[in-house]
Amino acid sequence: MARQIPWDRYEVALLLDAYLRIQEEPQKEKDILADLSKNLRKRAIHLGYTIDAGFRNENGMSLQYQRMKILMTNSAYGFDGPISRCFHEVVDIYKKDRDWYQMILNKARKDAGLETYKKEKKAPIIVVNGVRVDGGAPEKNSEPAKKPPPVSIIKHEPVIREVPTSTNSSERSIVDRLHLAPALQRKLEEEGIHTIKALQHFLADYKENYTIDFKDWQDANDKLHAYLQEESLPSATSRMETQNVPSENEAEVEHETDERLPRSMRLLSEEDFSRIPPYAQKWNIYCLDLPFELNGRLYTVSVHTVKELYDYFAVHTINDVFSQDDWALLHLKLLAYRKRFVKEQSPVVKAQPKTEEKKVEPLVTSEPSQAYGRNAEEDKPTQLTCDLAEKRDYKGYQPLAFCYFGDETQVSGWRDMYVKCCKTLYEDYPKIFKRLASASRKQPGPSYVGNSFEANYMHDGVSIGDTWHVETKITPKQMMGILRAIIKNSDVDYENLTFTFLVPKDAIEPGKAASAAPAMHETGDALPVGETPKDTPDINAEEPAASEEDKLAQVLREKFPDGLRQQNLAMKQYKARYEEMFGEALLVQNAMLMEKLRDIGEVRVDGRIYAKASGAEQGILEGIAKDLMRLLDESASSLYWPCIYEHYRNEFSGLSIFTEDVMRSELMPLFSSDYVCGEVISKRSETQSRGEEIRQLVTGSPVAISLTSIQEKIWYWPQNMVKKFLDGVPGIIKAKDLYFYGPNVTLSDTEKQRLRDALLEDMTQKQFITNVRLRDILEESCPGVAMDMSSLDDALLRKVLAMLYPADFIEKAKGLFPAEHMKSGREQIQEYCHAHTKLSTSDIKWFAKQRGILGNICNYVMDEMVRVSPEEWIRRDHVYFQGKEAYIIQKIGQQMGEKTCMPLEEFTLFLSFPDIGIPWNSYVLESFLYKNDAILCPFSLVQANGGVSDSGVYGAVVKKGYAIDSYDDVLIELLSRSPDWQTDEEALDFIVAHKLQVLRKLKQIGTIVKQAKRKRAQLVTANS
């Protein structure tokens, strides 16, 4: 059976895509999940996985769909056990970064052989002298388009005014000037909106296109309005000179501000609030340390987080709920809250680029950024634009964007900038990343670039495309060093990739060009001790000439990943591979070569020589050992080696560890002295008993828990050991593979007595209670108990009741019986038959099924009844055999004549048989012989397996005293007297045709045929 493969990020992306399609077409849910199952299986086969019929089947898709639904809808109801972290990651990516999610989805669809989604960008809006000239501009002479009904809630007016001619703001990017939300920014970019002038015309045409939501339109309109006000204000000097004589523009701004003030009271400006980190915006308002009474009023208007508080006062007026004093207090609290995350900075002067002769001049420009905060004159950081021509310390730098061949990308931090820049460069230079990963593996510690397997052991690995991941938990200096190495080994000039930062005051000294970030030359840069990965990895550095030992180790590592046997033939193979790699013969004796390889490699318990583990491989083993030790510290009482090997099989395969013994030898030295590694792994000072976590899992579950669910949580115990342990825990009830802790069912004394009385009352009428009747009694007498036990299946329910009333009831098979009147199956059948004059075969089978009686019930019935036909039975005291036995035996002997045995189906002459009250036939004859063959009857009834068949009359009548005692003797006798068969198959056909048995199958047919042929030959010889 193929091992279960955990879900990866690409499979979850396909699942999320299916979920979104189901939300659009709910009636096609079944078809969409079936397609999803087919695509996941195709993808696994394409990637070379070994799968079975249960891998990602349709039934499993329904369960995974419910998990995805819970994550997407933030439902409070979950499953028994945590949802995989991979599911959370993909859903989080989908909600925060659709472009990243789309890249993952396209990769998954490509692996599954499906078409990828392509996002088409619309043509940009082009404005010349205030007039749209692009293809989407409205024609003056064309008929006006039909407008949709007006939106009644719109109170804003689209802002269309000319920007002052002294600036080129109309041609500036709306991203730089308006600080729009990322989602709204992407929408506008898809519509081709890139400049202020284009945005003005787009908002003016809003009622004709309906391409964005009203909330987004309102946000863009407000920020555009504020921007145009700011651009229209005179300089600070002019305001100081004309403080007492307001201009027309200032009066207009004050008038517009006064009009907007009653509509909303913003606690902070948009720029100030955006400086609070997104995760801190989601914190509860308790972090603001507000008065208890004010907290209560905020909760009444559904304000729970800092972001909700800001949004509420951005759209509501000061009313009866919140006064001007409340607004002022909240304003001060938000200012103090912002200062916890943002360091106030003083204005700095522009920095000039530093130049050197005969060296590439780095691009460095700086300008004061947009004023923000309450005190704009004291809080003006410097905006610095530079490239990678020189090394810098980047201490205190805050990245804003990077520009690659004129295409500018906004970023929200170092990690975001590094990942997006790597993705951009990977699209053009994938081979450089492969070489960079190879260089990274030669250093100790986790790799800073690696494949999907190595990403499992990164601190914070992020995918950049295909199978490659980058480590993001590194310093900014290391990030820029890696990017610099990529640019250095590509055909990209330094000026084609520039970065824009917000630089603190102490980073650039006044009047100097970036002196706080001095250039560090290519050579002679020493790294701090222990800093990995190195700042600028040299991908193409020439490696020193390899020593003889390095060459031997390289051949051992690359050509013999599964180990090298210590045999002469293996040494010859090694020499051949060595000559293939280095083009020179290895002139050394096999014994000396074997000794050298043992010195440079390692001999594992399987007797083979392996290359010593590299830093990355050793890191993987250490990571597994740390996971196991942490598991023992947190919950596990002991770990079993076979389970560990199965759980980490993929990792061990990548390390050329293919047996459990080799795994033990590699992992044991990595455990500290606090742990004991024997047949199992446990803590040396363990206080809890072995298996205590399993007992707590079962006893703590209010419902029955399956063995599969237990194994998913306690994966480090074998299944047979889990069963053995649970069988010894008192109070735990088992039914098939379900376990339930009986004491979890709590009944009051009144309920317990009422249920007992109802069960005993019903028991007196029918002697036992069936499963269906048992639940009816529970619902009638104790509805509350019936509801508590509704999750238990029939077997568990019976066992729980038998445990609650051990002195009154016994649970057996499929019913509940009195404790003192438990009878065998034969006795129950006989009592049932004795209580009826006539019965049908169906009635008897139904009774046996209800009582859980197994075996050949016809033998039990024959003791009390006579079979008249395949379906009809009559009690023996209504059939008059008594006193006529001798006459019946005489008639049987007359029909048999000289034969020693005769099949039952050949008895047909019943007219001369005595009258017994019912017509004679082979069924009645079988019943007569079954009851009388043990007395002084000269005939006996011989049947297959010694039993009566419920499908017809089968068997033979045998004369006693002729050495025919068994069923095999009957077959040999009958076969020896017939010439109609020659082979084993023909002999079986003869046996079935004469109704000696039902099935055309006999284990000892070969032996019987040999003896029958020998006896037949003797008879032929005697008669000739």
Report the distance separating Cα 610 and Cα 621, nearest Å.
15
Going by C-alpha positions, the residue among 788, 708, 719, 715 that lies closest to residue 748 is: 788
106 three-class SS: helix
Of 604-608, 679-683, 906-910, the poorest mean pLDDT is in 604-608
Going by C-alpha positions, the residue among 174, 176, 175 that lies closest to residue 369 is: 176
State the pLDDT at residue 142.
44
Instruction: Tell me what the pLDDT averaged over the chain comes to.
Output: 74
Strand 872-875 relative to strand 407-410, pairing: unpaired
Is residue 120 scored above 80 in pLDDT? no
470 in Cβ contact with 418 (< 8 Å): yes
Q: How confident is the model at residue 14 (pLDDT cuts 50, 70, 90)?
A: very high
State the pLDDT at residue 169.
43
104 in Cβ contact with 11 (< 8 Å): no
Count of CA atoms in the C-beta half-sphere (13 A) of 462: 18
Of 219-228, 634-643, 814-823, 852-861, the poorest mean pLDDT is in 814-823
Is residue 369 scored above 70 in pLDDT? no
State the pLDDT at residue 153.
37
Element (H, E) at 336: helix 324-339
What angle, rounded to 10 degrees, do the helices at 548-559 and 590-600 form? 80
902 three-class SS: strand
Long-range pairs, 321-327, Cβ under 8 A, ≥24: 321/297, 322/297, 326/294, 326/297, 327/265, 327/267
Query: Which structure tokens are listed for 515?
Result: 């002196």
505 three-class SS: helix
State the pLDDT at residue 543.
46
CA distances from 462 to 104, 628, 1003 (A): 11, 25, 64
State the pLDDT at residue 287.
76
State the pLDDT at residue 265.
52
State the pLDDT at residue 746.
74
State the pLDDT at residue 998.
79
Report the distance separating Cα 464 and Cα 478, nearest Å.
18
State the pLDDT at residue 862.
84
Report the distance separating Cα 138 and Cα 132, nearest Å.
8
CA 928, 930, 935, 936: dihedral to nearest 10 degrees?
60
260 in Cβ contact with 295 (< 8 Å): no
Is residue 224 scored above 80 in pLDDT? no
Q: Where are the domains of the chain?
A: 9-111, 264-342, 364-507, 548-611, 615-689, 691-743, 745-801, 823-878, 880-1023
Can the peptide bond before residue 533 be classed as cis, meaning omega within 30 degrees of 0? yes
Matching residue, tokens 């076969």: 975
Q: How confident is the model at residue 521 (pLDDT cuts 50, 70, 90)?
A: very low
Query: Which structure tokens are listed for 590?
Result: 């096999």
CA distances from 316 to 266, 323, 327, 359, 672 (A): 9, 12, 11, 59, 61
Report the distance separating Cα 178 and Cα 189, nearest Å.
14
Going by C-alpha positions, the residue among 764, 879, 758, 746 that lies closest to residue 817 is: 764
Is residue 938 scored above 50 in pLDDT? yes
Report the distance separating Cα 416 and Cα 424, nearest Å.
12
Helices (H), 489-606: 548-559, 568-582, 590-600
What is the share, in percent, of the chain residues with pLDDT greater than 90?
3
As a whole number of Å, the end-to-end CA separation of the chain is 63
Report the distance separating Cα 931 and Cα 513, nearest Å.
118
Is residue 355 scored above 80 in pLDDT? no
The tens digit of pLDDT for each residue in 376-410 reads 444 556 788 888 887 888 888 889 899 988 888 88
State the pLDDT at residue 546.
60
Mean pLDDT of 909-927: 85
Mean pLDDT of 44-62: 84
CA distances from 911 to 47, 60, 439, 883, 953 (A): 79, 67, 103, 19, 19
928 three-class SS: helix
The tens digit of pLDDT for each residue in 73-116 reads 876 444 555 678 888 888 888 887 787 888 889 888 888 888 87
Going by C-alpha positions, the residue among 460, 463, 455 that lies closest to residue 473 is: 460
Kindly give, in sequence order, each residue whose CB lies less than 8 Å from that of residue 378, ignoring residues fewer than 6 positions away. Answer: 344, 346, 347
Strand 815-818 relative to strand 809-812, pairing: antiparallel
State the pLDDT at residue 418.
92
Mean pLDDT of 765-774: 71
Q: How confident is the model at residue 168 (pLDDT cuts 50, 70, 90)?
A: very low
Q: How confident is the model at residue 511 (pLDDT cuts 50, 70, 90)?
A: very low
State the pLDDT at residue 420.
92
State the pLDDT at residue 134.
52
